[in-house]
Amino acid sequence: MTRPLPAGLDAQARAWVRATYGDTMSAAALEVLPGHAGLTYALDVADPSGTVVDRLVLRLPPLGVRRHGSTDVLRQAPLLRTLSAAGVPVADVREASDDERWFDVPYLVVARMPGRTVSIDQGGEPPRQEHFHASVAALAALHSVPWQTTLSGWSDPRSYADEVHAWDRALHRAAGSSWHADAESVRVSLLQAAPQKARTGVNHGDYQFSNLLFVDEQLTAVLDWEIAGIGPQLLDLGWFLVINDQRSWAHAVVVEGRPSDAELLDTYQDALGIPVDRGELAYSRALSAYRFAVIAGLNLSLHRSGRRVDEHWETLEPSIPVLLARAWQDLASAG
């Protein structure tokens, strides 16, 4: 079901288009883009004949919320420009502004990139082997960006322990759930086993097929950089591997023909040009499984309380203990 536009946004978009593109231009279409979080809209710009001359994506923070982390849309602009210059497939930044006269909040406008997503969910277009390999090769390109010089001061580096603690509040809110005690045990073990040395740099934070666009087998864009930062980069690869693995889910997912972890690791290492620590990768898979379990539990509680209704999280409830079991398995193999 398509979510309705916020009241007044259509008129605001029309005014912004006229001011930016000229009085004769119009906002031909404005719609909410799919997803489970964020305020993201597709915006078409048309000339007087009705011909679409530009296709855009508009990102806005929630009204009245402190601009920090995922709600600070402007912090994405320097990152996207840096990644684009490095050859990472991302959307071109058209405008990033703190001028609140247009949308009552700061805003980010980027080009709408060509392509479609693939999905491991039943009913979607399933990924092929080429999609998997293209995804991890692009991830290696992202992880090769020289952030110390190009993004100095953009974000404070985080450690693995920081990444575990980032979910402490969400886990605390799940106290009393059937899976809380097991998750707390996983958390303690993750902190005890956290690698002290890690390859650190730009990481996406949610690298999965729903955030990747393809034309045929070519990856055309990596989307949704709200939670990107500087931190352990293998966490991106671990997240991608865990999400696209039937062993992580109680429900059936479409991963027939998926390359093995070893094959995808070879593709990643070849593109990166350096070897990967297998123990650290196993730890990253464990942390990824734990993280998704906590995220699912948090969003399930928000859904059931009516604060953020999304039936998607009901489907994922049976997978929470499966994900935690997966975390234990990967911790054991991390050594």
Mean pLDDT of 223-233: 95
Q: 164 and 253 share a domain?
A: yes
CA distances from 236 to 22, 95, 231, 310, 315 (A): 42, 28, 10, 25, 24
Q: 98 and 39 share a domain?
A: yes
For residue range 15-63, what is the model confidence (pLDDT) as tens digits?
999 999 999 999 998 999 876 445 899 999 999 999 999 999 999 998 8
What's the domain range around 319?
129-334
Amino acid identity, residue 142? Answer: L
SS3 1: coil
**Structural domain ending residue among the three candidates 54, 83, 111:** 111
Residue 93 sits in a domain whose CATH number is 3.30.200.20
For residue range 280-322, what is the model confidence (pLDDT) as tens digits?
999 999 999 999 999 999 999 888 889 888 898 999 999 999 9
pLDDT value of residue 36: 44
Question: Domains in the chain: how many in total?
Answer: 2
pLDDT value of residue 232: 97
Number of H helices, E strands in the chain: 12, 9
2 in a structural domain? no
Q: What are phi and psi of 9, to 5 degrees?
A: -65, -35
Q: 101 and 171 share a domain?
A: no
CA distances from 151 to 78, 86, 101, 229 (A): 8, 12, 29, 10
21 in a structural domain? yes
pLDDT for residue 179 is more than 70: yes
